[in-house]
Amino acid sequence: MSCCRLETERLLLRPPEEADIPSTVVLLGDYDVAKNLATVPHPFTRAHAEDFLKRSTQSRADGSAFRFSIVRKSGNIHVGSIGLGLRDGMFELGYWLGRPYWGQGYATEAAKRVVGFAFHDLKAQSVQAARFHDNPASGRVLSKLGATPNGVGTRDCMARGHAVYCHLVLLDRENFGRKKAA
């Protein structure tokens, strides 16, 4: 699968590139961002960003993950990252935004486009996601996409240094885009 760029009204979603490294280091260097992600260490360094770029290129080539930098079209500003990675034979959605870009609808906009890519281009039947219990903003994003509860569990969080209770959800073709009542 050779997908390169996806677009939304306000965003360009493209493969990560070297030019993203400085902003990635700054944005993921914020503990309040890193603590919401399972595999991001804190502090986050340039070496971590370089490794992420290398792994993103390799995983795209072998079809095991499709990661995108989220770039705001207005000003061509890198605001975060989103992607799909295989986990237990199913694609799992993951994303983050730098704190200055929270609360502006970018995560929902990007996630809707990437999940659509999973269903239409990758022919996925469903997409899973997980969010830490203390990240309700991510829960709202997933709810807007039509996610349904799929259990609870724990996931290790590198930034926090311990396992964190999390909510698991499932997005399927039938409910995709159907916002759930609060």
pLDDT value at position 2? 44
Answer whether residue 115 is part of any domain: yes
Would you say residue 180 has pLDDT above 90?
no
Residues contacting 30, CB < 8 A, separation 6+: 98, 99
Does residue 94 fall inside a structural domain? yes
Does any domain span residue 1? no
Q: How many Cα atoms sit within 13 Å of 15 on the Cβ side?
A: 16
Overall number of domains in the chain: 1
- What does the DSSP assignment read for 81-95? EEEEEEETTEEEEEE
How high is the pLDDT of residue 174? 85
Task: Tell me, yes or no, whether 50 lies in a domain.
Answer: yes
What pLDDT digit, counting tens, does each position of 134-165 carry? Answer: 999 999 999 999 999 999 999 999 999 999 99
Three-class DSSP category at 74: coil
The reported pTM is: 0.94
- Say what the pLDDT of residue 179 is: 62
Q: What is the mean pLDDT of residues 170-178?
A: 86
Query: In degrees rounded to 5, what are phi and psi of residue 138?
Result: -65, -35
pLDDT at 76 over 90: yes
Mean predicted lDDT score pLDDT of the chain: 95
Q: Is residue 86 a part of any domain in this protein?
A: yes
- Provide the pLDDT for residue 176: 86
| Domain annotation covers residue 101 | yes
First to last CA, the chain: 37
Task: Please classify residue 123 by burial: count the beta carbons closer than 10 Å to its beta carbon, then call 0-12 exposed, 13-18 middle and 19+ buried.
Answer: exposed
Residue 113 inside a domain? The answer is: yes
Has residue 88 got a pLDDT over 80?
yes
Q: Is the pLDDT of residue 1 over 60?
A: no
Q: Which domain holds residue 147?
A: 6-172
Indicate if the pLDDT at residue 84 is higher than 80: yes
Residue 180 lies in a domain: no
Average pLDDT (10-27) is 98
How much is the CA Rg of the chain, to the nearest whole Å? 15
The CATH number given to whatever domain includes residue 42 is: 3.40.630.30
Q: What is the pLDDT of residues 22-49, one digit of tens each?
A: 999 999 999 999 999 999 999 999 999 9
Distance CA 180, CA 182 (A): 6
